[in-house]
Amino acid sequence: VLPVTPAVVEPLPGWVDNMNGPTGVLIGAGKGVIRSMICNGELRSEVIPVDIAINGLILLPYHNSLAEKRPLQIPVYNLTVDDDKKRTWKWIMDVGRDLGKKYPFEVGLWYPDGNMTSSKLYHTFCVVMFMWLPAYLIDLLLLIFGQRRFMIRVQNKIAVGLEVLQFFTTRNWDFKSTRFEQIYKEIGATDRKIFKINTNDVDDYEYMKISILGGRQYVMKEPLTSLPKSRIQLRFMYVLDRSCKTLFLVGLLYWVSAKVGLIELVRNGLQSGK
């Protein structure tokens, strides 16, 4: 079982109807909700576009029905993309972050600036500080103002989704698809056009782009006409994010300086100089 990603061609480029798997991570990170993920960036991803997977499932029994002799043993096929098309998780996350800023989602919770790490301790710290605490704070404010709370529920769903996906992003997988590739070589040009199962002609960067736009349109129901407005909102969130971080660091530096007596030392030095 592999994580399924948005469609390459059918029924529409980038089509997807749920937030499971990598799609949910791209949307959650683009909305600023997901701030951390456990992932070994050097491992190669084992994912497959939904239309490629479905075409493969249709093609296998069709192809086997044309065989003159039945095999003595039931053949096993691994439906996966070619080894050369398996990008590392780091490449996927970096490109996804870059495209998420070029084609931002509407009204995110915060500026999309999350990270991936292989350290469970650092990941736990980031999840508590930047995901759960803001969720409780937002729900508390919603309760005070008499609005419906939702952030804790969202974070619970994200936690479940990340736990499932992290099973794949922290382990090395090597599914060989020799038999599946052989079928592609044996079928004719017409069947190759009808049952697209080869992704060698797909540009990976362009596919990531249509995947993000697909999640935006088909899952979040955000039209492409709202992109200019979303870019303005993203610039505002960037300024707010950097301002808050700067104020936090300045405040922390001042507190530490006061605790170790540096502020008092500087003040006395200035007074003695006068």
Residue 56: its pLDDT value, please? 87
Q: How many CA atoms lie within 13 A of 131 on its CB side?
A: 26
Give the pLDDT band (50/70/90) at residue 198.
confident
Q: Which residue has the higher pLDDT, 234 or 185?
A: 234
**Cα-flanking dihedrals φ and ψ of residue 7, to 5°?**
-70, 150
- List the Cα angle 32/38/42 in 5-degree steps: 110
| 70-83 pLDDT tens trace | 777 878 888 888 87
Residue 232: its pLDDT value, please? 93
- Residue 64: burial class (beta carbons within 10 Å; 0-12, 13-18, 19+): middle
pTM for the model stands at 0.82
Give the pLDDT band (50/70/90) at residue 235.
very high
Residue 62: its pLDDT value, please? 83
Residue 245: its pLDDT value, please? 86
pLDDT greater than 90 at residue 227: yes
Give the pLDDT band (50/70/90) at residue 264.
confident
